[in-house]
Chains A and B, each alone.
Chain A
Amino acid sequence: MKWDLVRRDFKKNKYIYLMVLPVIAFFIIFSYWPMYGVIIAFKDYSPGKGIFGSDWIGLKNFTDFFSSYYVGRLIRNTILINIYDLIWGFPAPIVLALLINEINSRVFKRTIQTISYLPHFISLVVVCGIIIDFTATDGLITTILSYFGVKPTNLLMRPELFRTIYVSSGIWQGVGWGSIIYLAALSAINPNLYEAAMIDGAGRWRQTIHITLPSIAPTIIILLILRLGSMMSVGYEKIILLYNSSTYETADVISSFVYRKGLQESNYSYSTAVGLFNSVINFVLIIVANFISRRVSETSLW
């Protein structure tokens, strides 16, 4: 009987099903098929035999990875880049939003905002091209730093500077754009609160501490928790545009390692295993972050 109803429904709403079909097909092909393909992490994949026909080797790829020279370096770099980005990159848009919020002139405000969005619209390849040019031995940034006594060398060849360059250029590109969401939260604060505070004699600093910050705290907390959920992921795109073999020591992260081993050295099974390890940790972190978010702020992704 039930299938009879289903059939009737299909007939009545056939166009809706026709619409959803390609969408489901897309996700099955480009998301779930690769998830099935993950089993090659436990196999000795050879293109001739295919995913299904390759021989099982159990956890060998994982034990190889965890006993390799790289494992500590990769995990350390992945986490350190995230920590630096959290310490410097996370508060930057909040501070910018607070500063912009203190401006009275509408025109000045709009101008600053529009200009600060500009780097967001420059493509990553061009941003990295500019970074490479500016940090060359005779580049703009190298020259400016030399006024402060830094010896002019190619800054991207120096492993100890890679994270600084990565994180600071990220702030440059994202700070204005990141401030949008906080500015929106700031504009939603009831002006009566400020008037009341002024009548009570609170100056602007006290108003910021007692009214502004508490009002945007929920936004900050949610974004912070989501940020913590991605502590083990760093995109490979910017890394592989900026790193070189002399900076692998500090620059190589798990995702860039997967790209190099997998696609440049065609070590499919091994790099799939490394990628799977990273995916699983990310997944767990997001679940935990979401759980905490629901507890703390009653807001969650699902």
Chain B
Amino acid sequence: MSLKRKSTGEKIFDVFNHAILVAVATICLYPMIYVLFASFSKPSLLAKHRGILFYPLGFTLKGYQLVLENPNIASGYFNTIIYVVVGTGLSLLLTAFGAYALSRKDLLWKKQIMVLITFTMFFSGGLIPFYLVVMQLKLINTRWAVILPSLISVWNLIVMRTSFQSIPESLIESAKIDGANDFTVLFRIVIPVSGATMAVMTLFYAVGQWNSWFNAMIFLRDRDLFPLQLILREILISNDANAMTRVQDASQLVDTDFYKMLVKYCTIIVSTAPILCLYPFLQKYFVKGVMIGSLKE
């Protein structure tokens, strides 16, 4: 391809550039590798170790055993799956309703409704009034407090609407002439032909719900309802020994600070591994999402 030979300066640049990028990649990757190595290490060796880990120090699965036996992690996973599945499902349904209705020219006051919706991106009542609304709705300490307030993302709604608008009008008209109503058109035609957009939206909503913890923290009291991220917060941030183990184990473990450390590393791996294994295969959809979002209609 290249039209001319590379100059010495360019060769030197190439070497440096590769070196810099390898360094960047290492910095991006290594923290997780460190956590992975540490999670298999013998806690007694790990406690004495300082600095970079090149391999696990010794080998033990004790940490993983403690994490997998921990009922908090199990219930956190279970709750998160409920929030992700129900939340994403409802989010997609409502966003599709809104996007479809607002992409139809038949809708009266379409412009006004769009302004009403877009305005919420730029101005909000703030945290406290929002909290008081959820309280007045009597949603505090229910699963709905985690699911309902974050159902529709304005951004996703606009992206989906833009995508729906690009569907040829004739496709929809001909279905209507055949007697299809708007629900049929949406579910049988519009959604199926917008496969890529729907995949992107599903991922965005699902990842958003998977990662969210703040609403759960302020709205939930019952530990049985806590999503995984909130349990992780207790273990990783608040350093709460009771959250780390089965209750009967807690007393045994207080004296073994070693295990506390090990449990943290194992918890990180157990809670993050699913996403890290999945994302290389899904990344093209995420990248597509960034691209769709950056395009103006």
Per-residue A-contact encoding for B14-39, CB less than 8 Å = 1, 0 else: 10011011101101110110110000
- Bound-state CA distance A199–B24 (Å) is 33
User: Is B104's beta carbon under 8 Å from chain A?
Assistant: yes
Q: Check B78 for interface membership: any CB of A closer than 8 A.
A: no
Q: Which of B100, B113, B237, B280 contacts A129 (CB 8 A)?
A: B237
Which residues from chain A contact B236 at a C-beta distance below 8 Å? Answer: 125-126, 128-129, 132-133
Q: Is the beta-carbon distance between B101 and A195 smaller than 8 angstroms?
A: no
Q: Which of B130-164 contact A (CB under 8 A)?
A: 130-133, 137, 148-149, 151-152, 157
Q: Does B169 contact A (CB under 8 A)?
A: no
Q: Which stretch, A81-89, A157-165, A271-279, touches the partner chain B?
A: A271-279
The answer to whether A114 touches B283 (Cβ under 8 A) is yes
Complex Cα spacing A27 to B124, Å:
11
Q: Which residues of B contact A1 (CB under 8 A)?
A: none
> What string of 1s and 0s marks CB contacts (under 8 Å) between A13-50 and chain B?
10111011011101101111111111010000000000
State the Cβ distance, B191 to closest chain A Cβ, in Å.
13
CB pair B127 A102 closer than 8 Å: no
Interchain nearest-CB distance for A177 vs B (Å): 8
The docked-state distance in angstroms from the alpha carbon of A47 to that of B231 is: 30
Bound Cα distance from A15 to B104, whole angstroms: 11
CA of A44 to CA of B194 in the docked complex: distance in angstroms?
Answer: 50
In the complex, besides A19-B101, A122-B272, A129-B235, 19 extra interface pairs with C-beta distance below 8 angstroms are A12-B106, A20-B107, A23-B101, A26-B94, A30-B130, A34-B133, A51-B132, A114-B280, A117-B283, A118-B29, A118-B276, A123-B210, A130-B35, A205-B13, A255-B127, A258-B126, A258-B128, A263-B218, A279-B126
A19 touches B21 (CB 8 A): no
B18 close to A268 (CB less than 8 A): no
Residues of A within 8 A of B17 (CB): 99, 102-103
CA distance A44 to B94 in the complex (A): 37
Interchain CB contact under 8 A, A112 and B125: no
Q: Which of B54-62, B63-71, B288-296 contacts A (4 or more CB under 8 A)?
A: B288-296
Known contacts A19-B97, A37-B132; is-contact A30 B149 (Cβ 8 Å)? yes
Residues of A with C-beta under 8 A to B3: 195, 198-199
B52, B117, B183, B283: the one within 8 Å of A27 (CB): B117
Pick out which of these stretches binds chain A: B4-12, B81-89, B243-251. Answer: B4-12
In the complex, the chain B residue whose C-beta lies closest to that of A115 is B25
Contact B32 A118 (CB under 8 A): yes
Residues in A with CB closer than 8 Å to B118 are: 302
Q: Tell yes or no: B264 within 8 A of A by CB.
A: yes
Q: Would you list which residues of chain B between 171 and 216 have a CB under 8 Å from chain A?
A: 181-183, 186, 207, 210-211, 213-214
Given contacts A22-B97, A237-B214, contact A180 B182 (CB under 8 A): no
Do residues A9 and B29 form an inter-chain contact, with CB atoms below 8 A? Answer: no
What 1/0 mask marks residues of chain A from 100 to 129 whose CB sits below 8 Å from any chain B CB? 101100001001101111110111111011
Q: Which B residues are in CB contact (< 8 Å) with A30?
A: 130, 133, 148-149
Interface status of B168 (Cβ within 8 A of chain A): no
A205 to B108, CA, bound (A): 55
Q: Does A172 contact B (CB under 8 A)?
A: yes
Q: Complex formed: what's the CA distance from A6 to B283 in Å?
A: 46
CA distance A30 to B9 in the complex (A): 59
- Which residues in B have their C-beta under 8 angstroms from that of A132? 236-237
Q: Which of A268-296 contact B (CB under 8 A)?
A: 268, 271-272, 275-276, 278-279, 282-283, 286-287
A23 touches B94 (CB 8 A): yes
Q: Which residues of B contact A80 (CB under 8 A)?
A: none
Q: Within the complex, which residue of A134, A184, A283 is in contact with B123, where a contact is CB–CB below 8 Å?
A: A283
Distance A116 CA – B124 CA, assembled complex (angstroms)? 33
Q: Which residue of B129, B275, B290 is within 8 Å of A34 (Cβ)?
A: B129
The CA of A121 and the CA of B211, in the complex, are separated in Å by 9
Most buried by A among B17, B118, B127, B214: B127
Binding site for A on B (CB under 8 A): 3-4, 7, 9-10, 13-14, 17-18, 20-22, 24-25, 27-29, 31-32, 34-35, 50-52, 94, 97-98, 100-102, 104, 106-108, 113, 116-118, 120, 122-133, 137, 148-149, 151-152, 157, 181-183, 186, 207, 210-211, 213-214, 218, 229, 232-233, 235-237, 264, 268, 271-272, 275-276, 279-280, 283, 286-287, 290-291, 294, 296
Report chain A residues within 8 Å CB of B120.
27, 31-32
Closest 3 A/B residue pairs (Cβ):
A129-B236, A34-B125, A37-B129
Choose from A40, A121, A125, A278 the contact partner of B237 (Cβ within 8 Å). Answer: A125
Query: Which residues of A are found within 8 Å of B13, using beta-carbon distances?
Result: 102, 204-205
Say yes or no: B213 contacts A31, CB within 8 Å: no
B124 touches A35 (CB 8 A): yes
From A66-74, A136-144, A209-217, A245-253, the one touching the partner chain is: A136-144
By the criterion CB–CB under 8 Å, are A35 and B232 in contact?
no
Q: Which residues of B contact A121 (CB under 8 A)?
A: 207, 275-276, 279
Most buried by B among A118, A125, A133, A177: A125
B24 touches A144 (CB 8 A): no
Q: A99-B17, A111-B25 are in contact. Are A35 and B125 (CB under 8 A)?
A: yes
